[in-house]
Chains A and B, each alone.
Chain A
Amino acid sequence: MNKKLILMIGILFLLALSGCDGSNKNPITDADVRKGIEGLTMEFTKNAPPEKVFEDSIFPIAVNLKNIGASDIENGFIVFGFEKAYVDVNAKSGEKQGFSIKGKSIFNLNGDEEFVTIDAQTKKIGAQSETHTSSILATACYQYRTIFGESVCVDTDIYGIRKGEKACTIKDLDYSNGQGAPATITKIETRMLPDVDENKVKPHFIIYVENKGNGEVVSLDKVEKACTSEALEYTDFNMIKIKATLSGKDLDCSVGDEPSSAAIRLREKKDMVRCTLEDGVGRNIDSYMAPLKIELEYGYTFTISKNILIEKVLKY
């Protein structure tokens, strides 16, 4: 009996000791919200629209919008599309609705969500038919940002001839998990270029960008137009504005001579851009880690659909 008691006390003592670890295994602010390849997600809510509706009747359409990316959406649009001969929006609702939804943050790890509801009305389906299948489309258009932040190595020893331990060495960095947005930075190659001033080197980054989401990238200023019946130009698609800084200093990511043309045009959803710190870094500084921030700004649009069955009201 005494042995059992001693054993129990021993176990309790060990448990108490193990609980005394002061380290916090789940700190509040340690969550990495900038991961994933989605921004806005959208789905029709259950039974809105219903699977079957009668002709000449009003039915609800509700869409659940979730911002599971790491950027806030302001002044986004959702537009509904119908087969106008059979379904149209109810006079009291608009086809186009606006929305704003906050994205994920360390204090809101799931992101916000919103419901957009409209009423639609079916029309007559014709004398010869008892049923008709029609598609309801919902298209979201919104501005989004991808923010990429990483500590990168600035090594002024271009050819690696200096002896001794370095704080860091240059390496290519792969990012397959995304940054909490549909347009993602997938890879960064770092180079240190010699400068005309032989006492300086120019940090240079080759940044690979890819649209990994299930929608299309559109120009920032064409977001609203993308949610109308107007046609977009070919050049309105796949345009992403890019801004990059190293230690708070702007990198030159421009193509050609115009600094304002810091934009990427995706081809088959991918592209790369070269950004350089034109001011350079002194060669007499040993290698150090510097914060590289890249911001991509773009519009994004995608569409979901659901089929409904319109039934005639049979009276005999």
Chain B
Amino acid sequence: MLVITIGCVPKDDNSKNKDEITGTEGLTIEFIKNFPQDNYVVSENEREPISVILNVRNKGAFPKQDNLKLLADGKIYLSGFDDEIIEIDRSSKSLSTYFLPGVSSINLVGGFDTVEFEDGRIIAKNILVDRYEPVILATICYPYQTIAGPSVCVDPFPFDENQDKVCRISSQTLTSQGAPVAVTRIDEEASSNKIRFKITIKNVGNGDVIKLGALGKCDPTVGQVLERGDFDRVELKKAMLGSVNLLHNCGPFAEGENNIIRLFEGEGYVICSLDKSEFGDAKSAYTTPLNIELSYGYRSTASKQIRILKVTELT
């Protein structure tokens, strides 16, 4: 009894700053137990109902409560089976634009929804073998954003060693920002009339980064197929140093002026520079947030193997 009582003392964890949202996941999906079942037994000419239900959780920080509609382009698709044996009238469903807000200081666990493919049927007469063992693959494709705002040092006189300075030009490593693509590192380099920021980003989730404009190709059963060039493309939407917009001084970009950063083996970078003329009339070093906003599509999957046994009638 004493042990149980000790175990019930609430723990106040003050070690973590609750305003800082971390994590490497965006939307996640998992099959609800028994939807679909592990095993089905069907007889000739039967149409056995099959339901697939998925839990969808938003474990990342996007979107905020006031712009939930940004997830409207997200969809979940089912594939991996012979559609003449397992008939599901709508093998794709759109994501809810109401129930999937990101993690925030007032919603520490993020949004949650269930997506149901309830009207499925197993057509027994089309199973010509004793047992059919498909893998039900659920694929979720959705738009997502990463927002990072690390403090960086702006030093108008980086080579003046005589001044006392509140910060010095250096590099910093970041953790994650509650999204599958993270800003992992900011390297700063100063010259006499310019400061350059090398922003390194990385796919830290367990899925694939895809170009926002290619989300429509995500359907694994019909339409166009995702090409190589549709993967590993992240759009730099915003790069603001304090109130100074750096976006027009960033590069290299993969596709002309589209602000697209290309990832190689899951990692990429962009270099943004700040001209001395944009420092204002600052006379000494100061820290200011470098607000970065990345936009991309993301695809992840969950799979479950099922087994369908077809039995002949006992005559």
Contacts and interface: CB of A to CB of B under 8 A. Distances in A.
Interface residues of A, number: 33
A283 B225 contact: yes
Given A163-B208, A284-B222, A286-B220, A291 B82 contact: yes
B35 interface: no
Nearest to A150: B129
Interface string B164-208: 000000000000000000000000000000000000000000011
B93 interface: no
Given A163-B208, A247-B84, A289 B134 contact: yes
A257 B124 CA distance: 34
Interface in A258-316: 283-293
B105 interface: no
B153 interface: no
A291 B128 contact: yes
B228 interface: yes
A19 interface: no
A19 to B, nearest CB: 21
Interface in A128-183: 149-151, 161-168
B299 A167 contact: no
B131 interface: yes
Contacts of A245: 128
Contacts of B133: 151, 289
A164 B209 CA distance: 10
Given A288-B79, A288-B81, A289-B82, A163 B135 contact: no
Contact of B135 (A34, A161, A167, A283): A167
Given A165-B303, A248-B84, A286-B220, A107 B314 contact: yes
B80 A168 contact: yes
Contacts of A166: 137
B50 interface: no
A229 interface: no
Interface string A239-266: 0000001011000000000000000000
B311 interface: yes
B231 interface: yes
Given A149-B130, A167-B134, A289 B299 contact: no
B70 interface: no
Nearest to B228: A161
A105 interface: yes
Contacts of B314: 107
B112 to A, nearest CB: 23
Contacts of B128: 149, 245, 248, 291, 293
Contacts of B67: none
B208 A164 contact: yes
Contact of A29 (B41, B223, B228): B41
B129 A167 contact: no
A30 interface: yes
Contacts of A291: 82, 85, 127-129, 132
Contacts of B311: 29, 106
Contacts of B81: 167, 288-289
B299 A164 contact: yes
Contacts of A167: 79-81, 134-137, 303
Contacts of A106: 311-312
29 contacts: A27-B41, A149-B131, A163-B226, A163-B231, A164-B207, A164-B301, A165-B301, A166-B137, A167-B79, A167-B136, A167-B303, A247-B84, A247-B126, A283-B225, A284-B225, A285-B79, A285-B222, A286-B80, A286-B137, A287-B80, A288-B80, A289-B80, A289-B81, A289-B82, A289-B133, A290-B82, A291-B132, A292-B129, A293-B128
For the complex of A and B, the 9 pairs showing the least CB-CB separation, nearest first, are: A149-B129, A167-B80, A286-B220, A289-B134, A167-B137, A167-B135, A165-B301, A151-B133, A293-B128
